[in-house]
């Protein structure tokens, strides 16, 4: 569900945006993604 950031690290202390959370939920439930 979470792939990390461009620097190869996972930053759990960073703020998650609404858009990112929508992607997390869609991936977790294998929902189709719109453009």
Q: Is 30 exposed, middle or buried (0-12, 13-18, 19+ CB in 10 A)?
A: exposed
Question: Which tens digits make up the pLDDT trace of 4-21?
Answer: 788 888 788 889 899 988
Mapping DSSP onto H, E and C, the string for the chain reads: CCCCCCCCCCCCCCCCCHHHHHHHHHHHCCCCCCC
Q: 9, 28, 8: which is closest to 20 by C-alpha? A: 28
Domain ranges for the chain, please list them: 1-35
Question: Which tens digits make up the pLDDT trace of 25-34?
Answer: 888 888 776 6
Q: Is the pTM of this model over 0.75?
A: no
């Amino acid at each position: 569900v979470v792939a990390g950031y461009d620097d190869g690290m996972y930053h759990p202390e960073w703020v998650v945006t609404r858009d990112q959370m929508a992607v997390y939920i869609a991936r977790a439930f294998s929902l189709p993604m719109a453009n």
